[in-house]
Every structure is written in structure tokens, then in C-alpha cells.
A and B are shown apart, each in its own frame.
Chain A
């Protein structure tokens, strides 16, 4: 056999190997993409129902006698009046066959906070006393779960047979209705899933991000300018560079330890406030911003610098008037990506106490707050599936923010960055 024949005979096997290798590559990509698809479908599948709320629309008779209330403009009477009874009566009228003996079961269909809504309505307009009004209230979480997930084994329905029949009837008669869950976007956290919202977390995230952006962008850009343009070649500069590269790879939870030890214990700053969260996230994102800003400065061609220097500009004028504006799009892109990372970060914020249960929407940088990813973490740990549903919805909102930020960064990179 000649050499050529040996080679020719082995060709078939070698080509088979080639095809197999290629198939491995395709399989690897398929696995990665499948994971992405499964992740997204899982979250959308778990969470899309959280965007729907279940309400009860009833004719409520605001009978003063029943409520122990004869003057609705008197705050003391309002405080002590019974606002649950009119709701029960209104709902019992809608349910054929419900008698006084069932009242506890009927009451369990109404959201415990619905009476507050009735009180607020009377507080705003005392003249409503004695009239009959058509009003819409949130249903009890158990009704919400039953209406949305009746056939789903994963959810445990906490209504008895009788109550289920009633709810089925009420759905048919249009008393129980589903509509867009505006509660989710207009309230803070709550112990009651049907009243829990992510507005508090969104505002908390926003405040934290403002602090992070205001600190990390100027500091990051200034540091990048120094290292690229002014730093002399010496040990100190090398040491700074080594530090930045290492900080970029330090686990985020270490920054949480730093925040806890320095900002909270040493400086005595309050726990769980956006300022401290922002400071910790600033330290965490700075390396990312510095590294990308340096790349942006590096990409400005030397001809620009030489031309400016030739016109008699000082080094600082060259940098601030010519290099910086040209590098700005690249710096902004890097910063948006850094901010997106900071927005999704959870671990360091757990350590500085942003895991507290906070009902109110924060109204300042020094107000206790939580952030969107931490809210996801808190709800995901709940044994109630209604909270898991809302955690998925919060994830969808978080991912929407992140994807739009990254899309903006890609758009800016394509549109604004100049190729030289």
C-alpha cells in the first residue's frame, strides 16, 4: 500500500470525526441557548399571572346604623366604625343561598384591607353615608389564587367546596373580575400577596442607582484620565493598576463586608438606606467603569492629541477639550453596562441590611429602602406561591430594565462610537 492509499483510506474516518466535532460545537451552543429559553419561559410562565388582579365589584349600602356611624366627618367615629359589615352584606346579596350562618365564609372572600378602602372613601366624601354605591374592592388572596390557578396542582387552594362554588357563580355573574394588576406597580411590600407591589423596590433601586451613577461615573472617568494620560511610569502607578484589576474580580459579597465594617460600623451610617447601598455599589462598579473608560481613551488616535498640542494647547487642555469629548461615547457605554451590573446586584446589599421588610415607598436617600433584586430574593423565599408569582413578575420588570439598558449601550456603541 502506498502512502497515498493509506491516507485515502483513513479519510472517511477523519471526515466522520470532523463532523462529530462540529456536532459537539452545535450541541454546546444548543445547550446554552436552551438554558436561556427555559429560564425565560419558566419565569414568564410563573409570573405572567401576577399582572392580573382579582376584584369584587358590588353595590355597597353604606348604612350608618349597620356601621355604628352617624357622622362620617367625625374622625373618631370613623376610627371605630364597622366597615366590614356592609361589605359582607353586599357580597351576601350577590350569592344566592348564602345565609347568616355562612357569614364567616363570605367574609373570607373579601380582602382584609377592603374595609380601609371603604373608610377612605367615606373620609374623602362624608356625604356617601346612607347611599348605595357600586364599588370595586380587591378580593382575598385565596380567591385570587383560585380564580387564576384553579386547575394548577402546584397551588394549594385554600377555599372550601362551598366557597369555590360561590366564586364560580360570582365569576359568571361578573362580580368577580380580573383586570390589570395596578397594585403591583403602585405599592410597596406587604404581608398580603394581593396587596404587595414593587413600587417601593423600584424607587429604592432608582435612588441607589442615582447615588451610584453620580459617584462612580465622575470618579471612574477621572481615574481613567489620570492613568491613561498623566500617570508617570512608576511603582505607584503599577500598584494602582494591579489594585483595579484585582478589585474587578473580587466577589461582590466582599464589598458588602467592606460596607458593613466601614460605612455602618465605623462611620455609624444607618442601615438599609440607598446612600450606603449606592456607596457600596460605587466601589464595586468603579473598576468596570475605569477599565472601559481607559479603553475608550486609548482608542482616540494620537493625531488628535498631536494636532491639539501643535496648536499650543496644554496637556490638560488637550485631554479635556479634545480627547475626552471623543472618548465620551465609549465611556458612557461602559458606564451603562456597569450600572446594569449594579442594578442586578444583590449580595452586598443583603449585608448592609437592605433586606428589611419595608412597606412604605422610600421618599429620600436616607429613608429605609429595598431594591428590586432584593425584593425578588425576599419573595422567592416565601412559602406562599402567590409571592413566588410576584417574584417572577418582579424579575420580568428587572430584566426589562436590564435588557433596555444593554440595548441602549449596544445602540450607542453602534451609533456614536467613531472608528478611526
Chain B
């Protein structure tokens, strides 16, 4: 049975267990004189039986479904004759996809060696067997555990406390998933990064000024040695983020000031949702706009002025990214400006200052730390932004500060290195993970720092 169907079957068993538990508690209470002689309501006895039935079965199902693919792969590769054993991970994945293509019928067996056909047959049988074992095991666990839960029902058992404690632990597990996700990110990204630094030296990666990750596929191939200096990517990312900030910070900040200090309720009611709409537009749409409308416009405009501009200029990607970040800056600044106590405002106005003087000389300095925190969050947003730069910025790693030239960013390189054909243990793919690690670290530091500033600022006025 497929995992999804099995899941549904388990849910049915859980419902049955609930019904049986409920009924048993009632029938046990009958001779005592009604359910008031039970320690808990019948619902809790049913729920207890259901939890006994469901939890172990679902854990078994989840583990089996998660690991069956990998285990089958290992068994299939292990069954191959020794001379066919793949030497590298890349060859292994190539062989595996060949085998599974033969197994699924996508590749005719005539085009594959007899060993591969045999392995494909084994794959099909193992998959079939795995499904059978999984179904039997999950159903057996559900029935057995459900029975155990059911048979232990007694009028004196405090089922409610047990059910509530279990639920609490389930809730805790859901909350702890956040830790698990972070651990998962750290392990997946940093593990590969360590392997990357086994191949490429720290110094080359952090201080190299040349990035061209194309490595030779075969040992005898004449190709450029891959160069993995991240400086051009780093400066490219900074250049595009800086352009984005030049657009987003003044526009976002001034519109937030206008909306919170000058605009009446009606204007605010219309303009604010419209600004928030900018934040709701998917980044791929901004990328489309940047690549197909803004970039050609900029290069044509520059050409008409006699300036040479790349068709994938940093200006197009950065400018459009700035538009995307406007609502982010504006809503954060709005919060911060509104958090400045009214007394400061009133005091300044009472002394005869105009509204703009109050804003510039009293409120803005008071709100500055908070605004800085907001801007840092926006910067972290900009350096992690992917789709706009993938579509509108270039691939060439130029070390330049000219916004009309094409630059590339960390996120662009991660996407280009990891989409399409890949060999898993090459320096090229590992480099993507190393870049991911740098990106994660940089945004993490920015976020922690920015949130710290914002929080400290809030406390100041509370």
C-alpha cells in the first residue's frame, strides 16, 4: 500500500480505537452505576485508546517512508557485481537513475547492460516488498498498541491526565521543530561546507578575487581550473543591496513619516494597503519586471546618452529590489515612529516647532536606533533575495562598483550551481553550500543584531 493510503488507513484505525475505548469505558461503568463512577469522561478513555493506537503506528510509518528510498538504493547498489561498483558519488547517482529508469520502463532494457536490468528487477521487487512490510508492520503496530491501550481501560484509570500530558508533549514536539529545522540547516549546510574546505583553501575562498566554478569533468579534459574566490560575489551582492537601499530607505522612510504624521485616516486607509500590496507580490514577478522591462529600459536609456550599459545591469536588479523592500522599510519605520511617546511630540509642538521640525529634530533622533534596526533587517532581506537577481543580474563575476555593469551575487551562484546536472561531491556543488553557509551566517548576524537594537529601543520607551 502507498504511504499516503496507509496513512488514511491508520487514521481509520485510530477512529475505531477511539470508538472501542469509548464504548469499553461506558460498559465498564454500567455495573458501577453510570459514567459518574469513572475517573474521567468516556471521551478521554476513547482518546487514550486512539493515542495508543495512532502514535506508535505513525512514528513507524514516518520513519519507514523517510528511509525506505535510501535503504533500497543501498541494497540495489550493494547487489551489483564488484566491477560495476561506482567509484564516485556522481557515478553512483548516474547509475541509480539508469536503474530506476529501466525499472519504471522509461528506458528500454535493451539499452542497458544485463547487470543493470537485474538491478532494476531487484529494485522493483524491493519496492514491492518494502510496501508490504510497511503495511504489515504499521497495521500490526496500530492494532497491537491500540489493543494494549484498550485492554488497560479501568474505571479508576485517570485517562484525562494521561491524554492531556501526551497532548502537551505533542505540542512541545511541534514547537521544538523550530530547533530541529535550525539544526537541520546547520548540519546540511555546514557539513558540506567543511567538505568544501577540504578541497579549497580558506584563503582562496575568502580572499580570492576570481570566481569561475567551472571545473574539468574528466581528468584529461583541458579546462580552466575552477577558481573559488568569493570577493566578486560578495561585492556584487553588496552593490545590488546598496542600490536597493538607496531606493527603499528614502522612499520607505518618507512615506512612513507622511502616513503617520500628516495623512488623514482616509488617505492612510487607502495608501497603506496599496503599499502592502507591493510586499505581497511574489519575487518572481519582480524578477520578470526587472529582467524584461527595467533592464532593457536602462540599457536603451544609457545608450541614448552614449553610455555603455550591460543588458543585465546591477542597477535594474537593485532598483527593482528596492521597490520590493519599500513596504518592508515603511512598515518597520511606521511601528518605530508610532512607538515614540506622544509627550515628546506634544512638548516640541508646544514650544512652537513646526511639524517637520518636530519630526526632524525630536522624533527622528528618538526613533533612529529603531529605524537603523529596521534598515538592517531590510539589508538582510536584500542580500538573501534570490529570484530578482537570478532573473535580472548576470552570471559573470565582475569585480566592479559600476552599477551599469553586470555583477553576480551569492544567491545567483547558489541557484546556478545547484540546478541542472550536478555531481554531488564536486567542488562546484560543495561551493554552493559554502556560499549558503556564508549567506546564512551573514543574515543571522544581521538579524540578531537588528532585533537586539529594535528590542532595546522599544524597552527604552515602555
Contacts and interface: CB of A to CB of B under 8 A. Distances in A.
B262 A261 contact: no
Interface residues of B, number: 95
Of A46, A254, A345, A398, chain B has the most CB atoms within 10 Å of the CB of A254
A347 interface: yes
A18 B259 contact: no
Nearest to B185: A258
Contact of B287 (A31, A43, A380): A380
B376 to A, nearest CB: 11
A46 B285 CA distance: 13
Contacts of B262: 22, 25
Given A254-B439, A380-B292, A399-B285, A35 B424 contact: no
Contact of A251 (B175, B178, B257, B385): B385
A253 B280 contact: no
Interface stretch (A93-101, A104-112, A130-138, A221-229): A221-229
A258 B440 CA distance: 11
A26 B274 CA distance: 14
B411 A253 contact: yes
Contacts of B271: 29, 33
B194 to A, nearest CB: 13
A155 to B, nearest CB: 13
Contact of B175 (A22, A231, A377): A231
A284 to B, nearest CB: 9
Interface string A321-355: 00000000000000000001001111100110101
A252 B384 contact: yes
Most buried by A among B280, B383, B443: B280
Interface in B257-311: 257-259, 262, 271, 273-275, 277-278, 280-289, 291-293
Interface in A242-264: 243-247, 249-258, 260-262
Contacts of B187: 261
A418 interface: no
Interface string B421-451: 0001000000011001001100110011001
A219 interface: yes
Given A18-B355, A39-B289, A258 B184 contact: yes
A347 B283 contact: yes
Contact of B419 (A265, A269, A343, A351): A351
A17 B418 contact: no
B69 interface: yes
A25 B171 contact: no
A286 B178 CA distance: 8
A368 to B, nearest CB: 11
A32 B275 contact: yes
A223 B444 contact: no
Contacts of B69: 267-270
Contact of A347 (B357, B360, B415, B432): B415
A365 interface: yes
A355 B377 contact: no
Interface string A17-38: 1100110111111011101100
B415 A223 contact: no
Contact of A344 (B66, B284, B419): B284
Given A15-B354, A36-B277, A226-B171, A258 B386 contact: no
Contact of B391 (A15, A262, A270, A380): A380
B4 interface: yes
A283 B387 CA distance: 19
B384 A253 contact: yes
Contacts of A290: 175, 178
A225 B170 CA distance: 11
A267 B67 contact: yes
A381 interface: yes
Contacts of A262: 184, 188
Contacts of B432: 257
Given A250-B440, A251-B411, A346-B282, A380 B288 contact: yes
B254 A250 contact: no
B66 to A, nearest CB: 5
Contacts of A256: 418
A230 B443 contact: no
B168 A230 contact: yes
B143 interface: no
A21 B359 contact: yes
B168 A355 contact: no
Contacts of B418: 256-257, 260, 350-351
Given A46-B292, A231-B175, A222 B433 contact: no
A243 B281 contact: no
Interface string B146-175: 000000000000001000100110111011
A144 to B, nearest CB: 20
Contact of B174 (A35, A226, A269, A392): A226
B135 interface: no
Q: Which of A25, A226, A268, A376 has the most CB of B within 10 A?
A: A25
A406 B384 CA distance: 24
Nearest to B164: A316
B433 A261 contact: yes
B251 A32 contact: yes
B414 A24 contact: no
Contacts of A24: 254, 258
A170 to B, nearest CB: 31
Contacts of A227: 175
Contacts of A253: 384, 386, 411, 414-415, 436, 439
B177 A219 contact: yes
A388 interface: yes
Given A253-B414, A254-B439, A373 B284 contact: yes
A283 B177 CA distance: 9
A287 interface: yes
B178 A247 contact: yes
B443 A42 contact: no
A336 to B, nearest CB: 12
A209 to B, nearest CB: 14
A407 to B, nearest CB: 10
A300 B168 CA distance: 20
Given A222-B175, A286-B178, A316 B255 contact: no
Given A25-B262, A381-B391, A39 B178 contact: no
A243 B181 contact: yes
A315 B380 CA distance: 40
A395 interface: yes
Nearest to A230: B168
Nearest to A374: B284
A243 B384 contact: no
A388 B288 CA distance: 9
A239 interface: yes
Candidate in A21, A290, A399 with the most chain B CB atoms within 10 angstroms = A21
B285 A254 contact: no
Given A39-B281, A222-B171, A257-B189, A346 B67 contact: no
26 contacts: A25-B262, A28-B252, A28-B254, A29-B259, A29-B271, A33-B274, A35-B323, A36-B278, A222-B174, A226-B172, A230-B168, A240-B179, A246-B444, A247-B182, A249-B380, A249-B381, A251-B440, A253-B386, A253-B414, A254-B436, A270-B69, A314-B164, A380-B284, A380-B292, A392-B288, A395-B285
In the A-B complex, the 5 residue pairs with the closest CB atoms:
A251-B384, A25-B258, A344-B282, A261-B188, A268-B69
Given A253-B411, A344-B282, A406-B280, 13 more contacts: A17-B357, A32-B323, A39-B289, A223-B174, A251-B383, A261-B188, A262-B188, A266-B70, A290-B178, A316-B164, A346-B386, A376-B288, A377-B284
